[in-house]
Amino acid sequence: MRKITRIFFVCVVLSNALFGQDIKNITVLVDKPTAKVSPNMWGIFFEDINFAADGGLYAELVKNRSFEFLSPLMGWKEVKHDGGSGSTLIINRGEANSNNPRFARITVKSASGSYGLENEGFRGMGIEGGKQYNFSVFARQNSGATKIKIQLLGTDNKILGEAALQNFTDQWNKYSVSFNSTATDAKAHLAVLFEGEGVLDVDMISLFPKDTWKGRPNGLRADLAQKLADLKPGFIRFPGGCIVEGRDLANRYQWKKTVGKVEDRELIINRWNTEFSHRSAPDYFQSYGLGFFEYFQLAEDIGAAPLPILNCGMACQYNTAEVAPLDQIDPFIQDALDLVEFANGPVTSKWGKLRAEMGHPAPFNLKMMGVGNEQWDVQYLDRYKLFAKALNAKYPDIKLITSSGPSPSGAQFDYLQKELRVQKANFLDEHYYQSPDWFMQNASRYDGYDRNSSKIFAGEYAAHIKEPKTAKDAETMNAWISALAEAAFMTGLERNADVVQMASYAPLLAHVEAWQWRPDLIWFDNLRSVATPNYYVQKLFANNKGTDVVPALMDGKILAGKDSLYSSAVIDKTNRQLIVKIVNTSSKPMPVKLSLQNGPAYGKATWTELSSANDLDINTLNDPQRVYPAETALASADLGKSPLKLKPKSVNVIKVSYK
Ligand code: AHR
């Protein structure tokens, strides 16, 4: 940039006032970069909480498709039509197939009419009119000749689409058929009707929209995946979250059980099924249809670096706190080593071969991995050391993410921050679910961090307005004030790009009828999704992350709360832009003059504003753009002359292109 002809924007410090407010002067030292912005900055945190995977991002519409829930017919009900009769027997063939032990033996006893099972979906099935749906089933004819009639039924039981399958053999085979839906219905259900006397075994009864994200079979819900892609995230952390740890070790997340053929993936209970008694979800399981291969694929599709988090031999310390003894930790470490091979290894290696068989011979370019989720104390440190020794020896280029516990301060936090730095850990994962005030007060948290030690991954954060006690409290957990506070704090993350190299809001997704935790970044029902004000803050930062931080100063000092203003600035050398973020947390409008010092010749400029009239304004499925960014064009040359009139409680992104 220094080679470019410079135009000096002279900042005239005026003593006049606008809106009864002194004009604030923010000076950006355009030619004094202080740090490189990590390409991985501003990522996303995916956890299967709030029906984020099954019933959410994973586009499967049938719940309990392989009869493996603890109550094998949960989600299903028997139906009989036109004098048909029959029965369903759940059979466990655990000795022959321990991953997918159960199937349904359907006996049709009547020559006419039909007997069948109806599936309710995940709080219903979201069906779009005019779209294709793909049905599949594994079936084996034991006796007689049975025909399957498939009917997609609307809320009023009208048929939205139908198809049939027949001529099953006496061996297990997969059968598929497609049909179109005639109408849209957010609460449809599926009838699988059996006709003709005989005994038919069925398993893995599945219904997917054809139009998944990128049209992939076993794919993802397109609208949700698109919202993730629109963030242009630097990384995607998966699969959690506490889900990694499990309430006990038997129910921990084990990536090897989530890869290979979908029908061979072993379902387990979702730990959020029972975590909160007031939000229990007895039908919440992990089918693992969305497994590690699909996570890597999603990361690649949206241009995000994959960041898997693995169990480190510790179950959730809020639950059983079960630990694998140190002398029995090897299988856990082996899982981590094998994951690198699965992601990056040659197709001739055991795990690289599986990746290739699943359709991706090229490596997934894994560069980092989390050891444990939200662990604490010496038990964690001991286990981390063993992981680090093995992983660093075999894969020295893989960066390891380590926990610093569930809180951003306190004895446990201090202990791990100190000890892990002694271990030269690559990244310390900090979590903060705190009040909006905390976020605003902590915008300079990282200004004093050691620049030459472990880097920071702000791995889970969200401003929590208050403990939700009423329905109204709960509804407003994603209100504007929380997003504003996060934006103020995020200027501090951006300013400290040499220390904070990754950050992700948490959790990511929540079904409006099936959530366990709020606030969340994106809400959805069976057909629609809505981005929260917090989403738009994330998007503004992630889409404008730049390549180099430059100082944004007021009175020669960093701006982290003085006069309720927060600011950070970056230049984007690739797109030749200067981008300044200013957050006004005051309830008054704020006149601000920007002085871009020692910069190049500027071209077009834009000013994006995100604000809302009321602190508790929210976006909803029916009113999705109440809090929504608005962009206006600016004459760049005016920046130093006339003040920008920042709205009360607003997030502002001023983007100026340079020649
Ligand atoms: O984001 C929700 C939960 O918060 C995560 O599962 C856990 O890591 C944290 O306690």
Ligand 1 centroid to Cα of residue 138, in Å, is 36
Q: Give the closest residue to 206 by CA, choosing from 283, 121, 288, 281.
A: 121
Ligand 1 centroid to Cα of residue 278, in Å, is 17
Domain 76-209 is of which CATH architecture? Sandwich (2.60)
Q: Is 289 in the pocket of ligand 1 (CB under 6 A)?
A: no
Which atom of ligand 1 is found nearest the CA of 462? 1
Ligand 1 centroid to Cα of residue 49, in Å, is 9
Cβ neighbourhood burial of 659 (10 Å; 0-12, 13-18, 19+):
exposed
Ligand 1 centroid to Cα of residue 14, in Å, is 48
Q: Is 460 in the pocket of ligand 1 (CB under 6 A)?
A: yes
pLDDT for the residue 625: 98
Query: DSSP label at 417?
Result: H
Domain 2-36+549-658 is of which CATH architecture? Sandwich (2.60)
Contact assessment for residue 37 and residue 574, using Cβ atoms and an 8 Å cutoff: no
pLDDT tens per residue across span 284-321: 999 999 999 999 999 999 999 999 999 999 999 999 99
Q: Is 126 in the pocket of ligand 1 (CB under 6 A)?
A: no
pLDDT for the residue 412: 97
Q: Is 405 in the pocket of ligand 1 (CB under 6 A)?
A: no
Q: Is 33 in the pocket of ligand 1 (CB under 6 A)?
A: no
Q: Is 507 in the pocket of ligand 1 (CB under 6 A)?
A: yes
Q: Is 62 in the pocket of ligand 1 (CB under 6 A)?
A: no
Q: Is 406 in the pocket of ligand 1 (CB under 6 A)?
A: yes
Count of CB atoms within 10 A of residue 363's CB? 16
Atom 8 of ligand 1, nearest CA residue: 241
The active-site residue, picked from 120, 195, 374, 460, is 374
pLDDT for the residue 4: 34
Which atom of ligand 1 is found nearest the CA of 374? 8
> Helix, strand or coil for residue 550?
strand
**CA-based angle 37:42:45, to the nearest 5?**
145
Is residue 374 among the annotated active site residues? yes
Q: Is 309 in the pocket of ligand 1 (CB under 6 A)?
A: no
Ligand 1 centroid to Cα of residue 245, in Å, is 10
Residue span(s) of the chain under CATH 2.60.40.1180 come to: 2-36+549-658
The model's pTM is 0.96
pLDDT for the residue 7: 31
Q: Is 244 in the pocket of ligand 1 (CB under 6 A)?
A: no
pLDDT for the residue 444: 98
Sites in the chain below the pLDDT cut of 50: 1-15
Tell me the DSSP string of 345-357. S-TTSHHHHHHHH
pLDDT tens per residue across span 341-370: 999 999 999 999 999 999 999 999 999 999
Which atom of ligand 1 is found nearest the CA of 47? 6
Ligand 1 centroid to Cα of residue 639, in Å, is 42
Atom 5 of ligand 1, nearest CA residue: 241
pLDDT for the residue 614: 96
Residue span(s) of the chain under CATH 2.60.120.260 come to: 76-209
Atom 3 of ligand 1, nearest CA residue: 241
CA distances from 146 to 90, 136, 138, 202 (A): 18, 16, 14, 11
What tokens does 65 get?
Answer: 């498709």
Q: Is 506 in the pocket of ligand 1 (CB under 6 A)?
A: yes
Give phi and psi for 602, each to the nearest 5: -95, 150
**CA-based angle 303:521:250, to the nearest 5?**
80
Atom 7 of ligand 1, nearest CA residue: 241
Helix intervals (H) in 176-291: 222-230
Q: Give the closest residue to 523 by CA, choosing from 536, 514, 510.
A: 510
Tell me the DSSP string of 129-161. TT-EEEEEEEEEEEEE--EEEEEEE-TTS-EEE
Q: Is 558 in the pocket of ligand 1 (CB under 6 A)?
A: no
Ligand 1 centroid to Cα of residue 262, in Å, is 27
Atom 1 of ligand 1, nearest CA residue: 507
Which atom of ligand 1 is found nearest the CA of 517? 2
Which atom of ligand 1 is found nearest the CA of 507? 1
> How many residues appear in the chain?
659
